Structure formats: structure tokens, C-alpha cells
Amino acid sequence: MKGLAAAVGTALRSGRFVSTWSVVFSFVLSFTVMAPSIDSDDVVPAVAAIAACWACFALGLVITGVIERAAGRSGVRVVVVVVGLLVLSACRPMLQDAWLQFFGASVSPIWQLPFRILTNLIVWSVSLGATAVLVVTSRSVSATNSTLRAVLFELDAASGRAAQFAERAHDTVAGIVVRLRSHVELLRVNPGDADSNARAVAEQIRSLSHHVADVATSDLRSIPVTCDSMVASPRANTTPLLRVPPAGVVAMLYLACMFPYAVRTASLPTILAACVIVIVGGRLVDVCSRRRRRSRRAPMPTAVYLSLSLLVGIGLSVVSAIPGASPATAMVPTAAYAALAGGAAAASGRLHALRVERQRLSRAIEAEQRASRAATTATRDALRAASEILHRDGQAACAVFALRHPHPTPVVVTELADVLDELIDRVAVIFEYEYPSVDTRSIENLVETWARVTPIRMAVSLSARAALDTHPLSARTAYEVVAEGLLNGAKHGDGGATVVTCDVTRTGAGPRLSVTIQTSGRLAPGAQLRPTSHIGHLGARLDPEADGATLEALIDLDDAIPAPVVVSPERLGEDGRTRP
């Protein structure tokens, strides 16, 4: 019941409580269970009165919906909806009597008016509330899925760009290796002009190291990509169209909607017997259908549910027919109960299909984020390492050679060529090494990807940026927390901005990397991370707040990478090789 109450509260605050479906459902109720008792001589004027009464009631619903959507605050929306529905429900019996008198049909005795007002308040509150919960929930999950599809499309495009970026990086390194080998070969075949050739090699190394560094920091968004995303061609939906609804829903709706009809058409013993059948029969239907759903040998629990619901409806019709009700009157309970069961099963199937789609998209997004991160960051790290080798070791070797050998001999030139060949060999296989896979830029790329479809603000302090760039394991944990926080913000947010903050916090146990993701949109009471949540195992915690939620993690900084050792020219021997 807590979940149902929370769903009603969400629908009241949503600004979409009154919808087109509310008007459609009011039409059905107005001409069935909420219709007045009609004499055989008053059929035509009574139908005209019912139609006129429904038109006025529908107009009131439309006006309430317009005012609800115009209200800017959720509290005002709640007041507008509650007051509007109460006034419309309470005035409907008097409005119906006025139209019946206008068209010359008979009206109910005046002493029944308080009872009729009370039944209208109950029936319309329950029916329109249930309709609003279903519509708002379906709309919310559909909107979430649309956002997730857009994010998945962007991530799929990012993966495509990452693949093209990796291919371009490999081509760039291969071209650099070929060019450098040709220049080094000149040192061997033309030792007489070794001085100018060595300067040319040094210049080439400097220029190419800068080029590799520029490629490593290039923006992936400039790379055109065509991706055959699952968003463009979604897979076939294998989720059943019908599903067993929550326990007790059909029985509760039937009692609320049919009670006024039963009071007008049945005796007290018949009503009591019908209530027993609805409560006991509904409970048996729920238990049997769910037991069948848990059995491997029962592949169609919904068929069991609908069949047993039809039997309950038939039992109600039998109880109604025993006192002598007409066949048409006796068939109303069967039709009403079966229709409610079918509608509830269809609504439950629709919501379940949307939730299954959301889970599928969430898993696909997580996989795409990891794949994109691994591909892009590893490629950039490899390019940066290649640039460092050329800039640090290659230029150092050429500088030492020029300083120590103003008149080089062929032997010394050959030794320089051997050193440069060794460096070129390291560059040629640079993509075969493993490097720290996450840094500040990885998290920024992730946020930029999400920011294309949802508003995000990000703040990373200088100390946090340094920690992310020098602590790869901590940065990987931070990436996982941010990715999960952005995903949760898209799932449960209300369209407001998500705030991502990274900072270094001083604690009694030493400095910690603090990662916080603040999202808008109220969560269910007591919402927490799942016990099997990956980021929960990493130390993250979820704190629901009045207007949103905060996902926060304090991450240890205990895996620092030592600063790269730059080989000084003094550490190079006269032969140009590095000393041990």
C-alpha cells in the first residue's frame, strides 16, 4: 500500500493527473455503473440526460486539467486536482437530476441524494486516481526510456568514434615509424653527412612527438561516424502483452466501482454474498495465478488469471440471478469483472514491458560506457606514451650525440642509429602495453556524452584533477560512481540539472577523493542501493533528499603512479646508450 500511496502522490504532483484517458474512462462509467435507473418509457430522454451530464462533467475535467497544467508549483497542482475532483463528483448527482428533469425523465428520490453524493465521491476518486496512476507511470517510464535511448545512441556513436580514433591512431603511429626508420637508415648509408642527418632526425622526432601529442588530445566529436545503433533498429519485443496485475487491484476496483450499482439493483443478502465472492475469489485468483507463474510447467500464468477471473465474474452473475434479476442485469457483473481483469492485465503488461526495456537500455548503456572508456582512454594513453618516448628519449639521444660528437665517426653514427632503432621499436609496439585506463579526461568525456541529452553541471577541483590523473585505481572507481549516478539521474530525475562534483577531502585516515552526484527528482521513501550494487561494494552510498538524491563516495588514494623518470643527458654514456 505504501507503493500505491506513493504512486498516487506522484500522480497528483505530476501536473498530468487529468488526461485524455480520464475523459474517456468517465464516459464509460457515466453510461454503465454510474448511470441512473432507467424506466422502459424513459430510455431516450434518460440517455440524452446522461450524455448531457457527461458532457458537463467532461468539461469540468478539461478545465481542471488546464488549470493543473498552468500551475507552476506541485502543491498548487495537488490542491487544484483534489478540489476540482471533489467538487465535480459531489455536484454530479444534482447535475444529473437537473438534466433528467429537463428531458422529462424520472429522477431518484431526494432522500437518496446524500448517499449518491458519497458514492460518486468514492467511485470517481478511485477510478480517476487509478487511471492517473497508470497514465503517469506509463508516461514517466516511457520518457525515461526515450532519454536512455538518446544516451545509448550517443554512447554508440562515441564507441564508433573511439574505434575510428583507434584506427587513426594506429595509422599515425605506423606512419611515424616508417618515416623515422627512413631517416635513421640515412644515418647508416650516409655516415659522411652524419651531423646534418642527425639534426634532421632530431627535428623529425620533435615534430612527430608534437603531432602524436596533438592526436592524443584531439576531440572525438570532430570524427564523423555512422552507427547501426539498437536505437535505430530496436530488437523485437518478446515481452508478453498481458501480465498478472498486483494482488487485490481488480477486487478493489470492482468493489469501488460496482457498489453503487449493486445498491440500486440488488438486495442486502445478494450484496453481502457478492462481496464474499469478490474478496475470497479474488484472493484465490491471485494465489493460484502466482503459484502457476513460479512453476516451470506453467508457461501462461496470465491465461490462468483471466480464466479464473472469468469464473469469479460468472459466480457473481449467478448470485445476482438467484433473486430473480433479468438476464441483462445478471450479466453485468461478469462483463465488469472480466473487463477489469483484462484491463489490469494489459496495463500491468504495458508497464512491465516498459520496465524491461529500461533495464535492457541500462545494461546496454553500462556496457557501452565501459567499452568506450576502455577503447578511447587506452588509445590516448598509448599515444601519450609514444609522444613521451620520442620527446624524452629520442631528442635526448640526438642532443647528447650532437654535444659529444662534433665530428662523428661511422661507428658512433651506427651506434646512434641502433639507439634510435630501439626507440622506434618501442613506439611500433606501443599499443601492446597496458596503461592506466581512467583519468580526469575520461570522466569529462563521459559527462560530455550525457550532457548532450540531459542538463549536467560538473566541478572538478585542481586537487581532485591531480588525484584522478595520478591514481588510476581511484579514478576507475570514480568513473564507475559517476556513470552510475548519471544513469540513476536519467532514470529517476524530473528533468532538472544533475551536478557532478569531485574534490579531495581531508580525513583522519588521510586524503580521500570525494565524488558526489546530485540529481533532482524525488525517490521512493527508503530508497537505497541494491545489496548487489557494484558501486555499493566500491563504497558509494545513496542519500534520498526532499527534492532529489545524492550519490556520494569517498575513495582511498593509495595507488599513486610514480612520476615518470626523465632520463638526463648526463645519464647517457658516450655510446649514446642508457646506463643501468
Q: Give the model confidence (pLDDT) of 535-569 as tens digits.
A: 777 778 888 877 788 889 998 886 544 333 333 33
pLDDT at 514: 92
The C-alpha angle with vertex 307 and arms to 302 and 308, in degrees rounded to 5, equals 100
Q: Which three cell numbers stand for residue 295?
A: 512453476
CATH of 438-560, one of 3.30.565.10, 2.60.120.40, 3.10.129.10, 2.40.30.20: 3.30.565.10
Burial class (CB in 10 A: 0-12, 13-18, 19+), 121: middle
Exposure string for 204-235, b = 16+ CB within 10 A, e = fewer: bbeebbebbbebbeeebeebebebebbbeeee
Nearest by Cα to 332 from 261, 277, 255: 261
Q: Is the pLDDT of residue 232 over 70?
A: no
Grid cell in block for residue 275: 462481496
Cα 126 to chain centroid, rounded: 30
Contact 456, 500 (CB under 8 A): yes
Q: How many helices and strands in the chain, by DSSP H and E? A: 16, 5
Mean pLDDT across 185-207: 78
Average pLDDT over residues 423-447: 79
SS3 track for 131-173: HHHHHHHHHHHHHHHHHHHHHHHHHHHHHHHHHHHHHHHHHHH
Q: Name the residue among 428, 430, 446 with its Cα closest to residue 438.
A: 446
Band (183; pLDDT cuts 50, 70, 90)? confident
Per-domain residue ranges for the chain?
1-108, 438-560
Task: Evaluate whether 320 touches 274 at the Cβ level (below 8 Å).
Answer: yes
558 phi/psi in degrees, rounded to 5: -130, 20
Least confident of 224-238, 277-291, 392-406: 224-238
Distance CA 116, CA 386 (A): 84
Contact by Cβ (8 Å): 341, 185:
no
Contacts of 12 (CB under 8 A, 6+ apart): 77, 78, 81, 82, 132
Sign of CA dihedral 180, 181, 183, 184: positive
SS (H, E, C) 465-479: HHHHHHCHHHHHHHH
CA distance 82 to 12: 8
Q: What are the tens digits of pLDDT across the range 473-521?
A: 888 888 888 887 887 777 676 777 889 999 998 877 778 899 999 888 7
* Whole-angstrom distance, CA of residue 4 vs CA of residue 11: 11
Given this model, what pLDDT does residue 87 score?
Answer: 94
pLDDT at 192 over 60: yes
CA proximity to 543, closest of 507, 505, 517: 517
Confidence band, pLDDT 50/70/90 cuts, at residue 203: confident
Cell of 231: 536505437
